[in-house]
């Protein structure tokens, strides 16, 4: 077990928790998006892409390389 | 438009983004999901396709990531969720056919909702933008056409 895996695991837990809060573990909610009854998936996708965009595009300007060296 | 409100989606999006960001900032990895299928099959298949170095190098952390996702969803269901554990009323064969098509399609397009939709868009990738526009449009059109044919889930 490398230290990298601990952070990957914590990130996965956050991911799964967020996915469950938004109800995307239910096929019914995904379907209600595809039938345009609930556009929440766009907020979910947009929100997560926006947060990740900051991490990918802004953080490397401050940190020269990943904390664990990459 | 938003019968369940904005908050579950916005909070969920921020948490998903935080998870992917944490992994990127600490390890430099792009934590995406559907490549998990390829890399995990490398444990079972001897075909050269599955034995690519990038698959062998990433198969360990991808399993760790998938296990984390399951645990995270379980923690939410056992703590904050109003309804605890649930099952879907969608029939198993529909899930199986849908799962097959999704699996095939994500491998064909080299990414899923998470790979293209989160990491890809966040990396300002044009091909990911086209992938997202394509799968959202085709998904919505298929759902609407099938609904209008009178098929009830």
pLDDT in tens, B1-15: 899 999 999 999 999
Q: Which of B31, B33, B8, B17 is nearest to B113 (CA)?
A: B33
Q: Considering only alpha carbons, which residue of chain A is nearest residue B136? A: A34
What band does A59 get if pLDDT is binned at 50, 70 and 90? Answer: very high
How many A/B residue pairs have CB atoms within 8 Å?
A: 243
Average pLDDT over residues B113-123: 95
Per DSSP, B86 falls in state -
Asked if B22 lies within 8 A of A40 by C-beta distance, the reply is no
Pick from A15, A38, A44: CB nearest B69: A15
Q: Looking up tokens 């296990």, which residue turns up?
A: B67
- Concatenating the DSSP letter of every residue in A25-58 gives TSHHHHHHHHTTS-THHHHHHHHHHHHHHHHHHT
What band does B153 get if pLDDT is binned at 50, 70 and 90? Answer: confident
Mutate to test the interface with A, among B5, B8, B16, B86 (most CBs of A within 10 A): B16
Per the CB < 8 A criterion, the answer to whether B132 and B115 are in contact is no
Pick from A10, A19, A32: CB nearest B73: A19
Asked if B13 lies within 8 A of A55 by C-beta distance, the reply is no
C-alpha B73 chain-centroid distance: 13
What band does A70 get if pLDDT is binned at 50, 70 and 90? Answer: low
Asked if B143 lies within 8 A of A35 by C-beta distance, the reply is yes
pLDDT in tens, B49-82: 999 999 999 999 999 999 999 999 999 999 998 8
pLDDT in tens, A5-58: 999 999 999 999 999 999 999 999 999 999 999 999 999 999 999 999 999 999
B-chain residues near A55 (CB < 8 A): 17, 20-21, 24-25, 122
Asked if B144 lies within 8 A of A20 by C-beta distance, the reply is no
């Amino acid at each position: 077990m490398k230290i990298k895996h601990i952070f990957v695991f914590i990130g996965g837990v956050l991911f799964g928790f967020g996915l469950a809060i938004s109800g995307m573990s239910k096929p019914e909610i995904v379907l209600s998006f595809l039938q345009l009854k609930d556009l929440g998936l766009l907020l979910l996708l947009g929100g997560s892409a926006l947060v990740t965009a900051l991490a990918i595009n802004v953080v490397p300007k401050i940190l020269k390389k990943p904390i664990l060296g990459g | 438009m938003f019968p369940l409100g904005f908050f579950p989606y916005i909070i969920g999006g921020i948490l998903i983004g935080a998870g992917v960001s944490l992994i990127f900032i600490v390890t430099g990895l792009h934590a995406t999901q559907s490549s998990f299928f390829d890399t995990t099959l490398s444990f079972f298949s001897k075909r050269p396709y599955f034995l690519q170095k990038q698959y062998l190098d990433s198969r360990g952390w991808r399993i760790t990531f998938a296990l984390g996702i399951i645990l995270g969803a379980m923690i939410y269901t056992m703590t904050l969720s109003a309804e605890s554990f649930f099952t879907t009323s969608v029939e198993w064969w529909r899930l199986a056919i849908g799962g097959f098509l999704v699996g095939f399609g994500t491998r064909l397009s080299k990414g899923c909702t998470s790979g293209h939709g989160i990491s890809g868009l966040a990396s300002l990738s044009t091909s990911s933008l086209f992938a997202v526009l394509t799968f959202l449009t085709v998904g919505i059109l298929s759902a609407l056409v099938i609904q209008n044919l009178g098929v009830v889930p």
